[in-house]
Chain A
Amino acid sequence: MSNTLGQLTATEIAAALQRREMSAREVAQAFLDVPDTYGAFLHVDAERTLAEADAAQARLDAGETSPLLGVPVAIKDNISTQGRPTTCASRILEGYIPPYDATVISQLHGAGMPLLGKTNLDEFAMGTSTENSAYALCKNPWDPTRSPGGSSGGSAAAVSGGLAPISLGSDTGGSIRQPAALCGLVGFKPTYGRVSRFGLVAFGSSLDQIGPFGQTVADVAALSQVICQTDGLDNTSLPDAPLGAMDLANASVKGKRFALPRELMSDAVEANVRASIEQAIRTLEAAGATVDHVDLPSLSLGVSTYYVIAPAEASSNLGRFDGVRYGAREEAPGHVESLMATRGKKFGHEVKLRIMVGTYALSAGYYDAYYLRAQQIRGLMVAEIDALWGEYDAILSPTSPCVAFPLGGFSHDPMALKLMDFCTIPANMGGYPALSLPCGLADGLPVGLHLMGPVRGDERLLELAAGVERALGCAPLRPPRA
């Protein structure tokens, strides 16, 4: 591991490119040269990456100064890339090559950011450890015997491991923020509707949002400026999606008010994480912030609510995988038999479980008891949270109740991994912008601090996070190199 560029943030690389201290090709080549010992990538096309780098260099040479011009980016493999495989880490999409780009990919091309490759994930983004990938085991650069988290584990491992300066993931219940926490990165889920979902393979359509991983708040803010745009190809795209002006350089937590829900600092939070969060709170208070304990009772219902709504939406969305128009097909005598064989054999266990849960929750006789009720509780949860915004700038909590856990550590207890999502789920329920940023180490592994702001409050949340980052003084947080 000799890539010294891995010691630079994305914005630092952008500045070095602008100063002609290095070329876009040299930058891309340096990252491509790092051996992927973490199973971070599922697909790399070096030739194409370098061609895109050369195109970016031509724009730099022509005097263009767009903020991340020439900075290469890694892409979660559930985001459609024209001419590059997009598998969702599923056997059912083995060999699938999208004929079009997702809107975010067109935006990255427009910004002159070469694509480094497609990153590993839990199959169809369903999981919390990236162990549900059908293709490769993904490892945490802080300790390769541990999980990078998930579902965007590859995008987190790529940045943390020095294989990419910045990356994109997707977040349905915490799939950007939890791996960011476990890998010591900043991970941001913008307000629902600020980033187009066109070309993101749908999991839970009312919850899914694309967002960036970076080493600093400035990095994720810069990439957010690129991808937060209104898009006519996504009917849930906000008409006011583009981000307004932000002042990260002068951000401070002085006078800022944080709410800490007791439900998110419950006994389920492990002692070492709790200690790290409490230390961070003391630091923020010393810097002039106030942190109040609040009660949001319905947050304790988050996991149940999520595991009704997300699988219900997934069971509908994944109905499109029929082995007719694209993807794998198992031959059988008859259409329904072929359809059932294809889906039975090509979907992995967790995906099938979630389709089953969703189908059950939507089936005759159970719809009111599960799906409708979960949507009502979603309404209660959002009303409780919305009542806080008049008084507080952000809701603060741990991102994950534990640090990175051993690979295979929960294979005997699939429910345990689902229960870990309780801090990140509320943001998806209300469409709130939320991010995780590193707040220190516990037993040598990163701990993530979670901040959530009001809908459309992305700019203020990023400024607040920059203030928190400055007060805590621990980003960028890089794993010890062998």
Chain B
Amino acid sequence: MPITLDEVRHVARLARLELTEDELRAFQTELDALLGHFQDLQAVDVTGVAPKPHAVALQNVLAEDVARFGLTRDQALANAPKSRAGLFLVPSIRED
């Protein structure tokens, strides 16, 4: 079943991507091609197969409990698109 334009719009919203109508249509075609290719995964019997989320699994990796310097405030702010008075300046998150 081909992916609908509304589904593409929903995924873009979840992904926090503002897309033009042209882009939405392009991604509809490309997502369809990829999802179509993924059908080969559906044919495999994976009953009882444990998922493998890591290439080489390690367990209980602990960091040494030692103090070390991080970034200074100026270093942390140096790349910010906007800052003021030693703080990151962000767009408003509430309605006035």
C-beta contact mask, B65-92 vs A, less than 8 Å → 1, else 0? 0000001000110111110000010111
Question: Are B54 and A206 interface neighbours, CB within 8 A?
Answer: yes
CB neighbours of B34 from chain A (8 A): 307, 357, 415, 418
Contact status B40-A363, CB under 8 Å: no
- Identify A304's interface contact among B18, B38, B88, CB under 8 A: B38
B38: which A residues are within 8 A, CB to CB? 304, 307-308, 370
Please report the C-alpha to C-alpha distance between residue A449 and residue B17 in the assembled complex, in whole angstroms: 40
Tell me if A97 counts as interface (CB < 8 A to partner B).
Answer: yes
In the complex, which of the residues A235, A315, A326, A359 contacts B79, with contact meaning CB atoms closer than 8 Å?
A326
Set A193, A334, A380: member contacting B92, Cβ < 8 A: A334
Could you say which residues of chain A place their CB within 8 Å of the CB of B78? 97, 99
With A191-B56, A328-B81 given, is the CB distance from A376 to B91 under 8 Å? no
B-binding segment of A221-229, A337-345, A396-404, A467-475? A337-345
A331 at the interface (CB under 8 A from B): yes
Indicate which residue in A359, A380, A415, A430 contacts B33 across the interface (CB closer than 8 Å). Answer: A415
Which of B8, B13, B44 gathers the greatest number of chain A CB atoms within 10 Å? Answer: B44
B56–A238 CB distance below 8 A: yes
CB-CB under 8 A from B11, the residues of chain A are 356, 359-360, 363
Q: Are B42 and A344 in contact (CB under 8 A)?
A: no
CB contact between A343 and one of B16, B41, B44 (< 8 Å): that residue: B16
CB atoms of A315 and B51 under 8 A apart: no
Q: Could you tell me if A382 and B51 are in contact, using CB atoms closer than 8 angstroms?
A: no
Q: Is B1 interfacial (CB 8 A cutoff)?
A: no
Contact B17 A324 (CB under 8 A): no
Which of A303, A338, A376 is the one whose CB lies under 8 Å from B51?
Answer: A376
Docked complex Cα distance between A324 and B16 (Å): 14
Name the residue among B30, B34, B49, B93 with the largest chain A CB count within 10 angstroms: B34
| A96 is an interface residue with CB less than 8 A from chain B | yes
B5 interfacial by beta-carbon distance below 8 Å: no
A residues 177-207 touching B (CB-CB < 8 Å): 191-193, 206-207
Q: Is B52's CB under 8 angstroms from A379's CB?
A: yes
Chain B residues closer than 8 Å to A191, beta-carbon distance: 56
Known: A235-B61, A352-B23, A429-B55. A301 touches B18 (CB 8 A): no
Q: Is the CB of B88 within 8 A of A360?
A: no
Contacts of B27 in A (CB 8 A): 352-353, 356
Q: Are A355 and B15 in contact (CB under 8 A)?
A: yes
Given contacts A304-B40, A380-B44, contact A341 B18 (CB under 8 A): yes
Residues 17-50 of B, flagged 1 when their CB comes within 8 A of A and 0 if not, give 1110001001100110111011011101010011
Contacts A96-B79, A332-B91 given; indicate if A359 touches B55 (C-beta within 8 A): no
Q: CA separation between A232 and B66, bound complex, in Å?
A: 11
Q: Within residues 293 to 348 of chain A, which ones have a CB less than 8 A from any CB in chain B? A: 298, 300-301, 303-305, 307-308, 315, 319, 323-329, 331-341, 343-345, 347
